[in-house]
Amino acid sequence: MAAPLASKAGSAGTTSKPPFPELDFRSGARFDNWNKTIILSVVISNEKEKHKKRERKNSRGKKTPKPLFLSFAGMVQKLDQKLPVANEYLLLSGGVREGVVDIDLDELNVYARGTDYDMDFTLLVPALKLHDRNQPVTLDMRHSALCHSWLSLRLFDEGTISKWKDCCTIVDHINGATNYFFSPTKVADWFYDSISIVLSEIQKKPQRGMPKVEKVEKNGTIISIILGVGSSRMLYDIVPVVSFKGWPAVAQSWLMENHFWDGKITEEEVISGFYLVPACSYKGKKDNEWRLSFARSEVQLKKCISSSLMQAYQACKAIIIKLLSRPKAISPYHLRSMMLWACDRLPANYLAQEDYAAHFLLGLIDDLQHCLVNKMCPNYFIPQCNMLEHLSEETVMLHARKLSSVRSDPAEHLRTAIEHVKAANRLTLELQRRGSTTSIPSPQSDGGDTNQPDDRLAKKLQQLVTENPGKSISVFINPDDVTRPHFRIDDKFF
């Protein structure tokens, strides 16, 4: 809420008063100053790009390491032929803790930028694919909460069932038929075991150009790997998923509504596919229940969000990721959903204002506080699913009070977030100056520096994500044909 501007036009024969600066009524902060602070926070968050450019110059002429996806994922594919051949993996900038996918954070170990890693990504790895459907996909939601589903292998052929039987829960029906339900927990266990075997083999026969494994951990159903690639430490949160082409029937009504992206991108781009990710509802059965994820659609929708609103979102995320971390109830994914709802609610010409980042940040804080007080945050694609329904009154009011303190002095909280980012950047630079990429060695790491790879691959991946905002970056893996292009941005291969 802003104080009204004084009239610029004075009456004849009188001296007009200079206009008051635009102020936030609640905190008294000046919007012009605060816009600069928000832009500064985004610049500092991306400060590492400068270091990468410098390192890129230093690494010229060195041998580019073998793509780690072909090295790791390809070996997992060949291990027991469970994964689809010529698989398509979606690479997202930011780890699971950054809210790039809707997965609960309470089972994830805490990693800190600067201390544990320098760059983070999320890699969605399809364990199963259903890509031959030209009609809305109907899922088995009889046993699940909204936005969740069980997955019966009856949808697949006998060969697929035979491969994945050991990763299923079995339900016998009265008529004597046996139904195999794909288990997210068992799939995650299998994937972690497979990656561990692959990494162990790599350590036995190290090859030049291979990244150094710093840490491998299973966080619930997520496998987190930190790789030392030259002077960069890259965190990969690997998520085993089920990939679908098309659109789920449960979200079909959402397509009938008006949205901010209408006319900017095609419906075909938005509904090109969705996933089931290994995440259970709070009352569901962990061994059977998957959560619907629209990560591919969200990448497309990001194209239609103004830069000033994205700046406000990044700044707000930096504030809440620290302030609301205990107890773990609010994630950046909730904030992302609220931003998408705001885009539908507010006029496009208003959201396009380049110098309104401060207005938008205060609006996001207000929206988040409103959602907490009312314990209501609808999923953007399935609005009937309330993502805060499970929270206790005590938890939501605790977070609402914390946000109230932010709203009273948002500039101070943003400055604190900026200092955290600066400290992480300083720590990264210090570790790089010492020539160290090691935090806590994993059992797979021998601690040696023999054949330490350069970090051109790390920079290439970050460059792809940075230079192609709002685009779908996929990685194709075919262990039997490594000559084909591996990266795709939207529909362009290279």
pLDDT band at 49 (very low <50, low <70, confident <90, very high): very low
Instruction: Indicate yes or no: pTM above 0.85.
Output: no
pLDDT band at 35 (very low <50, low <70, confident <90, very high): low
Whether the pLDDT of residue 281 is over 80: the answer is: yes
pLDDT of residue 294: 96
Whether the pLDDT of residue 481 is over 80: the answer is: no
pLDDT tens, residue by residue, 356-367: 888 899 899 999
| Three-class DSSP labels, 9-62 | CCCCCCCCCCCCCCEECCCCCEHHHHHHHHHHHHHHHCCHHHHHHHHHHHCCCC
Mean pLDDT to the nearest integer, 75-98 = 83
Mean pLDDT of the chain: 77
Least confident piece of the model among 43-47, 258-262, 362-366: 43-47
Which amino acid is present at 433?
R
pLDDT tens, residue by residue, 147-206: 999 999 988 888 888 999 999 998 876 666 788 999 999 999 999 999 888 888 777 776
Mean pLDDT to the nearest integer, 456-485 = 53
Whether the pLDDT of residue 403 is over 80: the answer is: yes
pLDDT of residue 63: 29
Mean pLDDT to the nearest integer, 433-438 = 52
| Residue limits of CATH 1.10.1410.40 in the chain | 24-56+305-427
Whether the pLDDT of residue 309 is over 90: the answer is: yes
> CA 196 → CA 69, 79, 381, 441, 443, distances in Å?
15, 11, 36, 14, 10
The domain 24-56+305-427 is placed in CATH, from the list 3.40.50.2000, 1.20.210.10, 1.10.1410.40, 1.10.3720.10, at 1.10.1410.40
pLDDT tens, residue by residue, 333-375: 999 999 999 999 999 999 999 888 888 998 999 999 999 999 9
Mean pLDDT to the nearest integer, 305-325 = 85
Whether the pLDDT of residue 55 is over 50: the answer is: no
Q: At what angle do helices 410-433 and 393-408 cross, to 10 degrees?
A: 90
Whether the pLDDT of residue 64 is over 60: the answer is: no
pLDDT tens, residue by residue, 292-307: 999 999 999 999 999 9
Least confident piece of the model among 16-25, 383-392, 450-459: 450-459
pLDDT of residue 224: 93
pLDDT of residue 393: 93
pLDDT of residue 24: 64
d(CA 472, CA 468): 8
User: What is residue 202's three-state secondary structure?
Assistant: helix
| Three-class DSSP labels, 293-342 | ECHHHHHHHHHHCCHHHHHHHHHHHHHHHHHCCCCCCCCHHHHHHHHHHH
Least confident piece of the model among 330-334, 342-346, 382-386: 330-334
pLDDT of residue 252: 92
pLDDT of residue 93: 86
pLDDT band at 69 (very low <50, low <70, confident <90, very high): low
pLDDT of residue 232: 81
pLDDT tens, residue by residue, 224-258: 999 887 778 889 999 999 999 889 999 999 999 99
> CA 17 → CA 24, 30, 237, distances in Å?
21, 19, 57
pLDDT tens, residue by residue, 112-126: 888 888 888 899 999
Torsion of CA 141, 145, 146, 147, to 10 degrees: -80
